[in-house]
């Protein structure tokens, strides 16, 4: 998934219109549309604003994959979803020890 697709997905998941997201990021609606349609790439400053708005990492927005097999990317998940994953992981760890 590319940046524009990920941005659109996050925007819709949060229930924002392009105009609402633009207002939050201090840019214009047309710029949001350009990003979503892959006509432009955001500046580092705008990328950081999006990361803050959606509470995700800039790496997540850019689709950067890390080579750390012991890490699970939980960007974009709610606090409850993250807690549920932690319970599952701890449960699985307990089974391996027995």
- Write down all domains in the chain, each with its CATH number in brackets: 3-97 (1.10.260.40)
Distance CA 22, CA 35 (A): 11
Distance CA 32, CA 21 (A): 8
For residues 65-93, average pLDDT: 82
For 47-77, write each residue's pLDDT tens digit: 999 999 998 989 889 888 765 566 777 888 8
Q: pTM here?
A: 0.66
- Please write down the long-range contacts of 74-79, taking CB distance under 8 Å and 24 or more positions apart: 76/10, 76/13
With contact defined as beta carbons under 8 Å apart, do 62 and 54 qualify?
A: no
The residue length of the chain stands at 98
Q: Which residue has the higher pLDDT, 38 or 97?
A: 38
């Amino acid at each position: 998934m590319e940046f524009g697709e990920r941005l659109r997905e996050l925007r819709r998941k949060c229930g924002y219109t392009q105009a609402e997201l633009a207002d939050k990021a201090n840019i214009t609606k047309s710029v949001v549309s350009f990003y979503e349609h892959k006509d432009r790439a955001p500046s580092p400053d705008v990328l950081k604003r999006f990361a803050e708005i959606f509470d995700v990492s800039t790496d997540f927005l850019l689709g950067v994959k890390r080579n750390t097999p012991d890490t699970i990317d939980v960007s974009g998940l709610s606090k409850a979803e993250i807690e549920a994953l932690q319970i599952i992981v701890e449960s699985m760890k307990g089974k391996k020890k027995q």
